[in-house]
């Protein structure tokens, strides 16, 4: 029996426990199977911690990003577990995976001052389309995009893949084109094609 004025309090969790619980609840995974041939898996998860935490000698994500990426400093916000994966349906074979580390690994901060990479996916009942766009702009010098497109259709045993590089010097852009040079979703249509490649990826 408790005496008057007395109280009981549950012991407070340590900051590490609070962080672990928050990280566990942050993960959201979505799956969609297209035509019984391709599995789409999208994962959204917690942000990269600001402090490293080593467990049993395993290199943590903070150290991995800091030590393996040749960048003067890391971006303010990184979601290390976010990814989009395309897999052969019912198998562990990856067709392609998009993730933050691979994207940042391609960045040379000294040579590429303003770069962006975006991945968009659209899955419809009879077709699907994936676009990965690399965008580079050097002010008053040049602008370039590199697009990788994946396209699949219903009742097809292959995926079409196309890679296209478009590039132009700033001096070759018209005044109208220069108005949209900061908008990758518009300027790419005005850039001349420098190189293009295509592949057919069979799912068998």
Percent of the chain with pLDDT over 90: 59
Question: By the 8 A CB rule, do 150 and 188 touch?
Answer: no
Whole-number Cα distances in Å, 33 to 38, 41, 87, 128, 143? 6, 9, 9, 11, 37
Q: What is the pTM of this model?
A: 0.76
| Residue that is written with structure tokens 């079409």 in the block | 160
- Mean pLDDT per 10-residue interval, the chain, length 204 residues: 55 63 79 94 92 74 87 87 92 87 81 75 96 91 95 96 97 95 94 98 88
CA dihedral 140, 167, 96, 76 (to 10 degrees): 0
The pLDDT tens digits of the residues spanning 102-133 come to 988 877 767 655 677 889 999 999 999 999 99
State how far the Cα of 145 lies from the Cα of 165, in Å rounded to an integer: 6
State how far the Cα of 178 lies from the Cα of 188, in Å rounded to an integer: 12
């Amino acid at each position: 029996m408790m005496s008057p004025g007395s109280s009981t309090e549950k012991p407070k969790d340590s900051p590490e426990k609070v962080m672990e619980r928050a990280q566990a609840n942050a993960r959201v995974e979505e799956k969609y199977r297209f035509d019984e041939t391709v599995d789409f898996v999208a994962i959204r998860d917690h942000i990269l911690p600001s402090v490293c935490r080593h467990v049993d000698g395993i290199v943590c994500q903070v150290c991995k990003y800091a030590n393996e990426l040749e960048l003067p400093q890391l971006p303010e916000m990184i979601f290390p577990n976010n990814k989009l994966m395309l897999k052969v349906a019912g198998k562990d074979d990856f067709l392609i995976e998009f993730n933050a580390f691979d994207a940042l690994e391609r960045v040379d901060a000294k040579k590429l001052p303003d770069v962006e990479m975006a991945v968009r996916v659209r899955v419809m009942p009879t077709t699907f389309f994936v676009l990965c766009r690399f965008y580079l702009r050097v002010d008053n010098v040049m602008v370039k995009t590199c697009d990788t497109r994946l396209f699949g259709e219903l009742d097809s045993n292959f995926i079409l893949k196309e890679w296209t590089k478009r590039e132009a010097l700033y001096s070759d852009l018209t005044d109208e084109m220069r108005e949209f040079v900061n908008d990758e979703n518009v300027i790419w249509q005005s850039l001349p094609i420098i190189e293009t490649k295509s592949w057919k990826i069979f799912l068998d």
